[in-house]
Amino acid sequence: MPNTELLNQTITEFYDKMSSWEQSVVKETGYSLAQTHTIEVLGNFGALRMNALAQKLGITTGTLTVQVDKLVKLGLMVRCADPKDGRATLLNLTEDGLAIHRQHHQLHVELMQDLTLEMSPSEAEILISAMQKMNKLF
């Protein structure tokens, strides 16, 4: 059985540091953290329905509607008909939205490279496996 107290402290410390890093990176873009996360999810998964996007972000569709409206107005996202279901709407990034996603994603890649610099490949694989297992529980 793992030392849950130490695990809690370690994950909390990592979360705080990651959040601080994310806030500082996003502040320079002029977009909110919520907007950036919305762009990030669509950039990673492609076009999604509103309820699927909200689920991936862990927010309600009501909260997401505010973000989507702002991102559409900024020209970073579009609403389009779902070719599989004419009654449904998909959300997708514009070219400008994709450019923001690529820039932000590259910052994440560089951070992960820095954070795993002192890990062996097997340690990194164990970390990935453990994080994937924990993420499934959310």
pLDDT in tens, 57-85: 999 999 999 999 999 999 999 999 988 88
Task: Name, in order, each residue with C-beta under 8 angstroms of 133's C-beta and a sequence gap of 6 or more.
Answer: none
3-class secondary-structure state, position 69: helix
Provide, for the chain, the percentages of residues in helix, strand and coil under a 3-state DSSP scheme, each rounded to the nearest 5: 70, 10, 20
The pLDDT of residue 82 is 87
In terms of Cβ atoms closer than 10 Å to its own Cβ (0-12, 13-18, 19+), residue 86 is exposed
Band of the pLDDT at 97, cuts 50, 70, 90? very high
- Six-digit token pair at 8? 């809690």
- Going across the sheet that includes 85-93, the strands are 48-49, 85-93, 77-82
pTM of the complete model: 0.83
3-class secondary-structure state, position 86: strand
The pLDDT of residue 83 is 87
Task: Name, in order, each residue with C-beta under 8 angstroms of 107's C-beta and a sequence gap of 6 or more.
Answer: 25
The pLDDT of residue 72 is 97
